[in-house]
Amino acid sequence: MQYSRECLIQFNHEDLLAHEGKIIGQKVIWKGKNKRHIGKIVGLHGKNGVVRVKFKKAVPGQALGTLVELII
């Protein structure tokens, strides 16, 4: 098995794309069946709304391609 603590997340909302530099340091939550994984936005990845997120614990492979919740 391979778990990853750092993931790339893409936001689709246009308001977030315009202010993506301001969301660095905000928290995101991935909710699985029985667990929640909390991460923090640590930086930008390119110019198309993709950010790097570091999670406190590694997220499982089932998290890839799913939605996360941005905590503002």
Specify the CATH number for the domain of residue 44.
Answer: 2.40.10.190
Domain extent, residue 14, equals 4-71
Domain count for the chain: 1
Question: Which of the pair, 8 or 12, is modelled with greater confidence?
Answer: 8
Q: Which amino acid is at 71?
A: I
The rounded mean pLDDT for the chain is 84
pTM of the shown model: 0.82
- pLDDT of 29: 95
**pLDDT for the residue 44:** 87
Determine the Cα–Cα distance for residues 72 and 60; give it in Å rounded to an integer.
24
Q: How confident is the model at residue 41 (pLDDT cuts 50, 70, 90)?
A: very high
